[in-house]
Structure 1
Amino acid sequence: MVSTIPQDYRDRPVAVIGAGTLGRRIALMFATRGGLVHITDPDAAQGNRAVDWAMGELPAVAATVDGGTPGTITYVPEQKTAVAQAWLVIEAVPEHLDLKKTIFAQLDADCPPDAVVSSNSSSYASRLFTEGLKTNNRMLNTHFYMPPGSTVLDVMSNGHTAPEIIDFVLHTFPEYGLHPFLCRTESTGFIFNRIWAAIKREALEVVYEGVSIPQDVDEMFALNFGTKAGPFRMMDQVGLDVVLDIEQHYAKDNPNLPEGPRILLQKYIDEGRLGAKSGAGFYDDYPKPERS
């Protein structure tokens, strides 16, 4: 298969599939160069809230990007319509492998032949849901952390990704205020997330065992490392349901991991405490979510 680079990418939209916490933040970053970004999600209320949030943040974020100027972000209900002319499509749906397989099979058929198609998965290698697709040579992982606060992302081949696609992503994403780093071999958890997972998991285990409480762990972490937030506050921002999905995936790969962190996360989730997005998680000081 021969890969083609989307030479006219500045004149074409970016499509983001999923209007959750990370989807809307990814859309925000790709709207900082005056272009058009489509957000698509089966939940119209969530899609429109994502657009409202991202457009509200856009002027300030675009001002931090070299050559930046605010573009436009719109909600497009139908995935096929959202990706029809896109030069870049980023999947940012929950960490469920079957869902990702379904979406990538659809994208294989619906995307333009030169589009770059990537997954924001925080734990799954894209190989697991692109194997056998006819356009898998232009599919890969682009794992974002939490833009615009963190503009770092991992870039990882699916094992078939054309080298020119990898190079294109590494050289083009910085135009949007992003900092991509290449995973040089397949790695569950990519680069920084492997380091973060060990910190996060041990922090959860310390609280599960009753050794400490989330607030004290976070305060010690911030004082020792000079950060604004500790692991529990950061998990609240990601979403405890997302954190649990990731931990369960790691546990499938390594059955020797302690069970305590997953038990603790499930307890909070069962109480409806999903983190900042639900108004409460390990902390209770978040704005209550809007009712659709």
Structure 2
Amino acid sequence: MTYALPVNTADRPITIIGGGTLGRRIALMLSLQGAEVRVYDTSLAVARAAVEYIATHRHRAVEELGGSPAVRLAAKDNLVEALRDSWLVVEAVPEKLGLKQAIFADLDQLAAPDAVLASNSSSFSSAEFVGGLSSPERVLNMHFYMPPEVRSVELMSSGHTDPGILELLMGELPKYALKPHLVRKQSTGFIFNRIWAAIKRESLLVVAEGVAEPQDVDALFAEVFKAETTPFRFMDEVGLDVVLDIENHYCEVAGIENKSAAMLQAYIAKGWLGVKSGRGFYNDYS
């Protein structure tokens, strides 16, 4: 069966798979046009917390970025209900390859035949999810950073993606106050994260080797580059558990040892995951 691009995108639902830190922020942005946005999580409590987050913060996003004051949100722990008639599905679950492969196998069977299936993965190419799928041409990477503060989105083909999907999303995403960038060739880490990976890895090693403290690295980075965002503050925002998963994958792809793994594992073992747990490399999060 030939894949056909979705129609009536303005009226059809959007589904986010995963109600965590990034999933709920993605859902917030994709709610700006007033279409129904469903947040699916295996934990209904997490999905409901995500919807509550969106409802609480959405008015400010609408004031600053524009959009419809109307909002239709739904928390789901039933995947069939969450996917019904959605034109866009965005996966935002932990960076575990097996988990993502299982989710895309389910999406391939349960989503509407024309639904676009996007992965927010920051380290895995969607090419790694399409094996055995009946419609690999509707799968791609759609990588967000930390909206609404950072609204850039990178779009990357799986190598099988229908070019019409990329064209569709390049046109649709600005309607949600998002700034799409096309990754023109498959690249581990896409555009920004490929560059950021080198900065992050060396920053971690400088601290793991005892050369400096996180505060020293951040202070120098801020001064030299006149930057508001600094390496260790940024890693705390992302979550140190996520940072470890990403670093493990990058190092595996590159065929090198993750020399900062032990330090990250020690923080994680103490429950110091970053902003979401109240403490990470810094302990001043309330």
TM-score computed with the length of structure 1 as normaliser = 0.94
* Structure 2 counterpart of 1:183: 183
In structure 2, the gaps of 5 or more residues are none
Deviations, residues 25-51 of structure 1 (Å, cap 9, x unaligned): 000000111121000101122211111
Identity of aligned residues (%): 48
Judging changes above 3 Å, is the alpha-carbon distance between structure 1 residues 14 and 262 closer, same or farther for their aligned structure 2 residues? Answer: same
For 1:204, the equivalent position in structure 2 comes to: 204
**1:155-184 deviations in Å (ceiling 9; x for gaps):** 011111111111001111110011111111
Q: Which amino acid aligns with 1:180?
A: P
SS in 2 for 1:194: helix
Supply the distance in 1 between the matched residues of 2:204 and 2:7 (Cα, whole angstroms). Answer: 46
Q: What SS class does the counterpart of residue 260 from structure 1 fall into?
A: coil
Structure 1 residue runs of 5 or longer lacking an equivalent are 288-292
- Aligned residue number for residue 266 of structure 1: 265
Contact 1:58 1:70 (8 Å CA) reproduced: no
- Deviation of 1:227 after TM superposition, in Å, equals 2.1
Superposed displacement of residue 70, structure 1 = 4.5
Alignment of 1:224-235 (within 5 A): 224-235=224-235
Offset at residue 66 of structure 1 (A): 4.4
| Matched position secondary structure for 1:121 | coil
- The superposition leaves residues 140-161 of structure 1 with CA deviations (integer Å, 9 ceiling, x where unpaired) of 1001111111101110111111
CA RMSD of aligned residues (A): 1.3
Task: Tell whether 2:107 aligns with 1:118.
Answer: no
Whether 1:220 and 2:206 are equivalent positions in the alignment is no
Pairs within 5 Å for 1:1-292: 1-257=1-257, 259-287=258-286
1:12/1:87 contact within 8 Å kept: yes
TM-score (normalised: structure 2)? 0.96
* Residue matched to 1:290: none
**CA apart distance, 1:67:** 4.4
Tell me which moved more, 22-31 or 269-278.
Answer: 269-278
**Residues in 1 aligned to 2:111 and 2:127: alpha-carbon distance in whole angstroms:** 18
Quick check: 2:34–2:69 contact (8 Å CA) kept in 1? yes
Q: CA deviation at 1:69?
A: 3.4
Q: Secondary structure at the match of 1:56?
A: helix
CA contact (8 A) 1:34 1:69 kept: yes
- Work out the number of aligned pairs and report it: 286
**Which string of whole-angstrom CA distances, capped at 9 and with x for unpartnered residues, describes residues 195-249 of structure 1?**
1111111111111111110112112211222222311011011000000000000
Return the alpha-carbon distance in structure 1 between the equivalents of residues 27 and 34 of structure 2. 12
Aligned residues of 2:34 and 2:67 also touching (Cα < 8 A)? no
SS of the residue 1:64 aligns to: helix
> Secondary structure of the residue that 1:100 maps to in structure 2?
helix
The offset of 1:68, in angstroms, is 4.3
Distance 1:49 1:134, change over 3 A: same
Report if aligned partners of 2:67, 2:176 keep a CA contact under 8 Å in 1: no
Q: Distance in 1 between matches of 2:252 and 2:216?
A: 30
- How far apart are the structure 2 equivalents of 1:191 and 1:241? 22
